[in-house]
Amino acid sequence: MKSTSLAALFSAVALLLAGCGSGPPVGPLSSANGPTSSVVVADGPSLPPPSAEDFALSFNPYRIGPFDVLEIGVFGVEGLQRQDYRADADGRVSFPLVGRIDAGGMTPGELELEIARRLGEDFIRKPRVTVNLKETTSRVVTIAGEVERPGSYPVLGRMTLIRSVAEAGGLDELAKSSEVLVFRTVNGRRMAAIYDLRGIQRGNYDDPEIYASDLVVVGESGQKRFIRNAVGAAPAIIAPILVTLLNNNN
């Protein structure tokens, strides 16, 4: 989120929605000196998914980490066909014939070369090794605010907003289910949506999908007044409130 703090973003969302009253929200709010808000209300019924370019920008070349699951195979070699191997807590992977490899920090391609080098020294002439990432703990969603266990959680398979909150132990005793925000980069633009978990549970709208690199925030005490103002002006129980955050490069 660069130099823009979460508190400033909450404040901007609240000011925009509160200033719009019951009419359709528009933005950014302006004065004689220029825009006074860094958000505009976005079109559409739900927060759009990130593009392939967004994923590419948010991830560096993949490096193997602890507990990652790798599919490793040696072409044409009986007993060394593709199987799953899980890295241990130190990122080490054990493979038949070559033993334990300190794979942590390697790319899958680098691990292919290392396994091929070891096999080629004593066992197989010109081995053709493939290493594919199957599960990873580096593709994570960050869950912050008033949940029992804030932190980063792996996105394995399809994750939804309610599931992500549950992964973090659920809401704590100070949380409000109407004060859940999701921040995401879509086509290079920073976006956010305000959700009311009660609306999802009642079937008013679908439980939105959560993607790796999303930030889910349940209103923290220092930011409650901003969120409460926003929800009071335009409740999110019927539909989520979507905004686009401007000045991403500031």
Beta bridge partner(s), residue 142: 152, 215
To the nearest 5 percent, what fractions of the chain are helix, strand and coil? 25, 30, 45
Does CATH number 3.30.1950.10 belong to domain 69-135? yes
**CB-based contact 141:216 (threshold 8 Å):** yes
Give the pLDDT confidence of 15-41 residue by residue, as tens digits: 444 443 333 333 333 334 444 344 445
The class level of CATH for 6-59+139-245 reads alpha beta
Give the pLDDT confidence of 60-76 residue by residue, as tens digits: 567 788 888 999 999 99
CA distances from 24 to 21, 40, 48, 174, 196 (A): 8, 12, 20, 31, 19
Q: Is there a cis peptide before residue 28, judged by omega within 30 degrees of 0?
A: yes
Alpha helical stretches, state H, the chain = 6-20, 52-58, 108-122, 161-167, 197-201, 224-233
3-class SS of residue 110: helix
From 110, 115, 108, select the one nearest 131 (Cα to Cα).
Answer: 108
Angle at 127 between CA 126 and CA 128, to 5 degrees: 120
Give the pLDDT confidence of 144-196 residue by residue, as tens digits: 888 999 988 877 678 899 999 999 999 888 777 877 888 888 888 888 888 88
Q: 225 — alpha (psi -120 to 50), left (phi > 0) or beta? A: alpha
| In the chain, domain spans | 6-59+139-245, 69-135
Tokens (6 digits) for 84: 């799953």
Is the predicted pLDDT of residue 107 greater than 60, yes or no? Answer: yes
